[in-house]
């Protein structure tokens, strides 16, 4: 039972996490004026925060006051110094990231269904893209930097890859072009989950049934037998409040904080919890397992001088390659940065050029499967994130990065991109052997900030599935998870739109009622 001294708040639905999926779900549920919704969000509002709302300022948010700053455990074959930024602000990582917006490919959704997520195949999921409120548009002409345009032309000639104008118009295996972004080109304002789904109602005051509890941290779920009753939260001033859900608790805290909250509530691997002195109320061994990501590395060039100043967010174009004809979808991706992205090379002794550009070979379907686990019974202690980067026995991930560096060098030889370049800074033109390339790019590897999978969705006979295809936590009632933690596998593309679509589907399940996923049996 909740402590008697705690203030109690009640609502029909309690949404834990006002991030990418949580913003969608809260907004949709509150469309019914008879339904009350409370959102628990650890960070502040993003309204009137130009440092957040201006898309091109995203780099300044990493490692700042709005970042939870999770670190990795020691990575024997990778980079142990990666800071996994997770946003501490309304809108979550859609208020923090570059807002690259790809509808997951049909092969991504079909892979989920094959993994036991019945009803999540491409045909069923496609309509949810059309429901999104975000302003998803191609990088505007005024933001199309000249070097990025020349890079696209060089890719086409060097690699024979077609240009894609509108990556969301049709499925693709290969392509190069300017991204689609969720933004407003006229003022470079984000069209994040919070901007698209919550701001209109916050500003109009037309949703009295929707309450946002900002700078408030959820630290333990309240259970009564197998029924989720609510959540214990703490305000920034230290006040303890118990928020009770009349219908359901929706956990949308993300791939790190959702499993963290579950485990501190006694839901997770029994052996691990009891070793920390946390009483296990539900032995659910999959909580924290299946930690997946999009690892990437980098190749950096110094340019002959400064670049044109126009850009949407300094990484406006990208490239997809399909090396293996048997593979479903692309198996190598690059972001093209109009900046010298040298954070990790600098740690290895390389110098950042004054002017430069980068390509980041990225592994769309990494074979690494990591694990998130608690290090303490103290809810405020950060969990451990062990991504097990590059530890797959086949070295598929490592070989993918080496292939990426080689292809990037071919692009650098091709005009009209070549004329911009002065020299290769990292790994450096003398690094030509596969083993040497591999070691350097693994040590300089980074993340695209796409952790997922830690409460994966699956079939009833999947012992490590945490939620069923209706997003309900196995063995519990009146509680669902809707965020990137439920991903069974990683989409080949940037996953933000996928998370928004999970939010839309979850909201529809809740509103639809019994027989269509709305009950909690």
* Six token digits for residue 511: 């509103």
335 counts as catalytic: no
pLDDT tens-place string over residues 405-419: 999 999 999 999 999
Q: How far apart are the first and last CA of the chain?
A: 23
Low-confidence residues in the chain, pLDDT < 70: 1-5, 513-521
Contact 483, 22 (CB under 8 A): yes
Contact 447, 93 (CB under 8 A): no
Pick the CATH number of 7-512 from 3.20.20.70, 2.40.160.20, 3.50.50.60, 3.40.50.150: 3.50.50.60
In angstroms, the CA 508 to CA 494 distance is 24
**What pLDDT, on a 0 to 100 scale, did the predictor assign at position 512?**
85
89 annotated as belonging to a binding site for a ligand: yes
**Cα angle value 175/180/181 (rounded, 5°):** 145
In angstroms, the CA 259 to CA 455 distance is 7
Whether the link from the prior residue into 444 is cis, omega within 30° of 0, is no
Contacts (Cβ under 8 Å, ≥6 apart) of 1: none
Global pTM value: 0.97
3-state secondary structure of 406: helix
**What pLDDT, on a 0 to 100 scale, did the predictor assign at position 24?**
98
**Cα angle value 111/115/118 (rounded, 5°):** 90
**What pLDDT, on a 0 to 100 scale, did the predictor assign at position 519?**
37
Contact 265, 223 (CB under 8 A): yes
Q: Which residues pair with 475 in a beta bridge?
A: none
**What pLDDT, on a 0 to 100 scale, did the predictor assign at position 5?**
60
Active-site choice (84, 264, 294, 450): 450
Nearest Cα to Cα of residue 489 among 114, 129, 126: 114
**What pLDDT, on a 0 to 100 scale, did the predictor assign at position 3?**
46
In angstroms, the CA 30 to CA 233 distance is 21
List the domain boundaries for the chain.
7-512
In angstroms, the CA 451 to CA 10 distance is 32
């Amino acid at each position: 039972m909740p402590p008697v001294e705690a203030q109690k708040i009640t609502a029909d639905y309690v949404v834990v996490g006002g991030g990418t999926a949580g913003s969608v779900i809260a907004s949709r549920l509150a469309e019914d004026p008879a339904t009350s919704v409370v959102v628990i969000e650890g960070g502040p509002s993003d309204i009137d925060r130009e440092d957040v709302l201006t898309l091109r300022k995203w780099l300044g948010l990493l490692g700042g006051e709005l970042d939870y700053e999770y670190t990795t455990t020691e990575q024997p074959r990778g980079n142990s110094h990666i800071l996994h930024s997770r946003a501490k602000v309304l809108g979550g990582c859609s208020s923090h990231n570059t807002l690259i917006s790809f509808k997951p490919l049909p092969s991504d959704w079909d892979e989920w269904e094959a993994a036991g997520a019945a009803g999540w195949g491409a045909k069923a999921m496609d309509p949810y893209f059309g429901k999104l409120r975000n302003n998803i548009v191609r990088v505007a002409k005024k933001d199309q930097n000249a070097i990025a345009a020349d890079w696209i032309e060089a890719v086409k000639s060097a690699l024979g890859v077609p240009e894609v104008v509108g990556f969301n118009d049709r499925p693709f295996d290969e392509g190069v072009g300017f991204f689609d972004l969720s933004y407003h080109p006229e003022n470079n304002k984000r069209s994040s989950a919070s901007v698209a789904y919550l701001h209109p109602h916050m500003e109009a005051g037309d949703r009295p049934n929707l309450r946002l509890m900002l700078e408030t941290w959820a630290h333990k779920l309240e259970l009564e037998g197998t029924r989720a009753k609510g959540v214990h939260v703490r305000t920034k001033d230290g006040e303890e409040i118990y928020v009770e859900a009349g219908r359901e608790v929706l956990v949308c805290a993300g791939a790190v904080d959702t499993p963290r909250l579950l485990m501190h509530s006694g839901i997770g691997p029994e052996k691990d919890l009891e070793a920390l002195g946390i009483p296990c109320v539900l032995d659910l061994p999959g909580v924290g397992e299946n930690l997946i990501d999009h690892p990437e590395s980098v190749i950096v060039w110094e340019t002959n001088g400064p670049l044109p100043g126009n850009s949407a967010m300094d990484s406006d174009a990208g490239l997809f390659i399909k090396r293996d004809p048997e593979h479903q979808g692309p198996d190598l991706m690059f972001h093209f940065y109009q900046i010298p992205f040298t954070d990790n090379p600098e740690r290895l002794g390389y110098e950042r050029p004054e002017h430069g550009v980068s390509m980041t070979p990225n592994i769309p379907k990494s074979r690494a499967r990591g694990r998130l686990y608690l290090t303490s019974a103290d809810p405020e202690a950060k969990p451990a994130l062990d991504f097990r980067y590059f530890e797959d026995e086949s070295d598929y991930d490592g070989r993918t990065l080496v292939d990426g560096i080689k292809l990037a060098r071919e692009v650098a030889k091709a005009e009209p991109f070549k004329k911009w370049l002065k020299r290769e800074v990292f790994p450096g033109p003398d690094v030509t052997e596969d083993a040497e390339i591999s070691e350097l790019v693994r040590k300089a590897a980074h993340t695209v900030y796409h952790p997922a999978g830690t409460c994966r969705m699956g079939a009833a006979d999947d012992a490590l599935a945490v939620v069923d295809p209706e997003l309900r936590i196995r063995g519990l009632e009146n509680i669902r998870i809707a965020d990137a933690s439920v991903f069974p596998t990683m989409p080949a593309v940037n996953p933000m739109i996928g998370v928004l679509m999970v939010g839309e589907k979850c909201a529809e399940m809740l509103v639809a009622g019994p027989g269509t996923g709305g009950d909690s049996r």
